[in-house]
Amino acid sequence: MAKNKEIVGSPKGSRSVRRTKMALRNSLIELMKTRSILRISITEICEKADVGRSTFYAHYENQYDLLEELEMDCLSAFEETLSMNQPLRKYNNQEVTKIFERMLQFIADNNNSIQILLNENGEVLFQRKFINHLIGYFKYAKKMYADGFDEKTSECYSVFFINGALALIQHWLKNNMHIPVHVLAKMLLSLTSGMR
């Protein structure tokens, strides 16, 4: 994955459509740094993106539609990055660390949009979906990584770990990713070691 290639650079369509959508996404992300989507108008988004309202409405019904497209692209790219459809097999410590590194690198490469989507101005529904994706992936990896857990126990460990990991990742983003990806990945692995 190319470094600093934000999710916001991946809308579909012709080159001019992609450019327009990217400008609108970037505008929304900038506005959401200071306030919730509930307090952002289409006029503000268009002015910041230097795009007319008619152009906005050619692509989106409203600001929530724009945000939803950004969120869906984020979740889709996240799943693709983690290769969540790989065949079932056992993972060793090194492979689990690599999974964490891929997840963290994805977040680092897309930190501008991810930080906004996960902060207090982001939509709670997206945050729940993102957490559920992480829980699903962690449960999958945990099943392949450790023996002896039934489904309910595995889910409890996953919920506990993911919520803690998410808080740690939010802290990491707020502090300009002050810990290198490979170090944070090892830290996450050590936090799961008691769950085996």
pLDDT digits (tens, 9 = 90+) for 45-77: 999 999 999 999 999 999 999 999 998 888 888
User: Which of 7-16, 61-70, 152-161, 168-177 is predicted with the least confidence, judged by mean pLDDT?
Assistant: 7-16
Count other C-beta atoms under 10 Å from residue 152's C-beta.
8
The predicted model scores a pTM of 0.74
In order of 26, 48, 49, 182, the CA distances from 20 in angstroms are: 10, 12, 8, 36
Architecture of domain 83-195: Orthogonal Bundle (1.10)
DSSP element (H, E) containing 83: none
H-state helical runs in 60-180 = 63-82, 93-109, 111-118, 124-145, 151-174
Backbone angles phi, psi at 38, to 5 degrees: -60, -25
The superfamily in CATH containing domain 7-65 is Homeodomain-like (1.10.10.60)
Determine the residue type at 30.
E
Domain ranges across the chain: 7-65, 83-195
DSSP three-state, residue 89:
coil
Q: Is the pLDDT of residue 124 over 70?
A: yes
Q: How confident is the model at residue 137 (pLDDT cuts 50, 70, 90)?
A: low
78 compared with 51, residue with greater pLDDT: 51
Determine the pLDDT at residue 88.
47
